[in-house]
Copies of this chain bind each other. A is one copy, B any other.
Amino acid sequence: MSNTKDIDALIEMMAKLPGLGPRSARRAVLHMIKKRALLMSPLSEALQTVATTARECVNCGNIGTSDICDICQNPKRATGEICVVEDVADLWAMERSQVFKGRYHVLGGTLSALDAVGPEELRIPKLLDRVEADGISEVILALNATIDGQTTAHYIAGELEKRSVTVTSLAQGVPIGGELDYLDDGTISAALKARKAI
């Protein structure tokens, strides 16, 4: 590849990141080398900072810089609503929409018989504890509309049935800006079934 061990090692590390391959890693590294004073040292320091400070919230599983994350610490968000998501990336996506004002619970994946992922592996017991302890009135299941996601949602809904808590899930239908011609049959069928009066 190039002629120096250090640069090759850096490219190799970058190439292993999701979304990057050898070609884009080479491109990114070359770009950084050309602007090394401006880009490389700050990026190196930012990585070091996050590597030392990032941790999982013991309460909800979100990633932050303290044992209890900013959302769980925020008294304004104690609305009695918990939004259950599969992954931190989903939590971030929900936060970008700026609509949900309650707290979250990150499962860390979905139930999967094939991969031997049971409720214990998924922070589901912790969710049930929180529902009991924090006086939660509504659990919103914002799991992905995949088979595994929906199986997990179904399981959690079953577990919460015995408790006095409303369980809801995200509406399914046509995405904003979506064109019918480009939507799959399942989405159109779900949107039709859940049609509402204007």
Which A residues fall within an 8 A CB radius of B?
Answer: 1-4, 6-7, 9-10, 13-14, 16-20, 24, 26-33, 36-37, 39-51, 53-54, 62-65, 69-71, 87-89, 92, 95-96
Separation of A65 and B14 alpha carbons in the complex (Å): 19
Asked whether, in the complex, the Cβ of B42 is within 8 Å of the Cβ of A13, the reply is: yes
Provide a sorted-by-A list of 17 A–B residue pairs whose CB atoms are within 8 angstroms. A2-B88, A3-B64, A4-B63, A4-B64, A4-B65, A7-B54, A7-B63, A9-B46, A10-B43, A14-B43, A17-B31, A18-B28, A29-B50, A36-B50, A40-B48, A43-B47, A44-B48
> Chain A binding site: helix, strand, loop or mixed by DSSP?
helix
Q: Which residue of B lies closest to A12 (CB)?
A: B46
Asked whether, in the complex, the Cβ of A10 is within 8 Å of the Cβ of B50, the reply is: yes
Q: Which residue of B lies closest to A44 (CB)?
A: B47
Asked whether, in the complex, the Cβ of A53 is within 8 Å of the Cβ of B6, the reply is: yes
Asked whether, in the complex, the Cβ of A6 is within 8 Å of the Cβ of B65, the reply is: yes
Asked whether, in the complex, the Cβ of A36 is within 8 Å of the Cβ of B13, the reply is: no
Across the interface, which residues of B come within 8 angstroms of A89, CB to CB? 26-27, 30
Known: A30-B88, A48-B44. A70 touches B4 (CB 8 A): yes
Asked whether, in the complex, the Cβ of A7 is within 8 Å of the Cβ of B44, the reply is: no
